[in-house]
């Protein structure tokens, strides 16, 4: 059995480019982001990967990234499930603000705590702990059973929703998760054991 799970963060968005907190806002991909998504699909195709199921969030940047990847794989008709559970962390009142402006307003340390701590919420938003609380049950209920049944699954989502999954897959803790970076348009390839633990992991960078 393959038990293949591939995670991909969306390509660069317009707000990534402009250093803006995005969260549940819905900016489009930049030209670089489109190129990143296509390149991810090309690297997967070059390795002979094919998928049975695909999952993504309700946000356009992740959906567009997945569409471009599947196009490079010749799999435009692959069934795709979209769910709000895979959305990016909600940054609340920070969404739409330039990160440097936020630092000037609230201070470097406070903004770092909002961005990288595990359980501190930004004003009106979600902590990473909150994000884990919605992503992980969806993964266990919907994505993991498909993988354990031997299906090859790709998930196109966001930095923090994927960090939420990787925290569990990689056995990271509340103390170590702040150091994890998930780069745009870079497939992360997991093969799982029958007991759902990770057998192998590979980052398919350029």
pLDDT tens for the chain, 206 residues long, are 789 999 999 999 999 999 999 999 999 999 999 999 999 999 999 999 999 999 999 999 999 999 999 999 999 999 999 999 999 999 999 999 999 999 999 999 999 999 989 999 999 999 999 999 999 999 999 999 999 999 999 999 999 999 999 999 999 998 898 888 999 999 999 999 999 999 999 999 97
98 within 8 A of 73, measured Cβ to Cβ: no
Return the active site residues: 10, 88
Sketch the domain layout of the chain as residue ranges. 4-203
β-bridge pairing 198-203 and 188-192: antiparallel
- Tracing tokens 């961005």 back to the chain, one arrives at 115
Instruction: Let me know if domain 4-203 sits in CATH 3.40.50.1240.
Output: yes
> What's the pTM value of the predicted model, to 2 decimals?
0.96
Region class of 152: left (phi > 0), else alpha (psi between -120 and 50), else beta = beta
92 within 8 A of 126, measured Cβ to Cβ: yes
**Which tokens go with 18?**
């402009």
């Amino acid at each position: 059995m393959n038990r293949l799970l591939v995670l991909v963060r969306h390509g660069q968005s317009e707000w990534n480019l402009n250093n803006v907190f995005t969260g549940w806002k819905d900016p489009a991909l930049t030209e670089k982001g489109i190129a990143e998504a296509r390149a991810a699909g090309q690297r997967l195709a070059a390795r002979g990967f094919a998928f049975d199921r695909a999952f993504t969030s309700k946000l356009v940047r992740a959906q567009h990234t997945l569409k471009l990847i599947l196009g490079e794989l010749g799999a435009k008709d692959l069934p795709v499930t979209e769910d709000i559970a895979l959305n990016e962390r909600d940054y609340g009142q920070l969404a739409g603000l330039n990160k440097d402006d936020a630092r000037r307003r609230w201070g470097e340390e406070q903004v770092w705590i909002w961005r990288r701590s595990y359980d501190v919420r930004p004003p009106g938003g979600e902590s990473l702990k909150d994000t884990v609380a919605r992503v992980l049950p969806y993964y266990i209920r919907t994505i993991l059973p498909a993988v354990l049944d031997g299906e090859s699954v790709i998930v196109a989502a966001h930095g923090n929703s994927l960090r939420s999954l990787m925290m569990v897959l990689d056995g990271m803790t509340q103390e170590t998760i702040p150091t994890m970076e998930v780069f745009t348009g870079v497939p992360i390839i997991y093969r799982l054991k029958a007991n759902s633990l990770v057998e192998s992991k590979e980052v398919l960078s350029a």
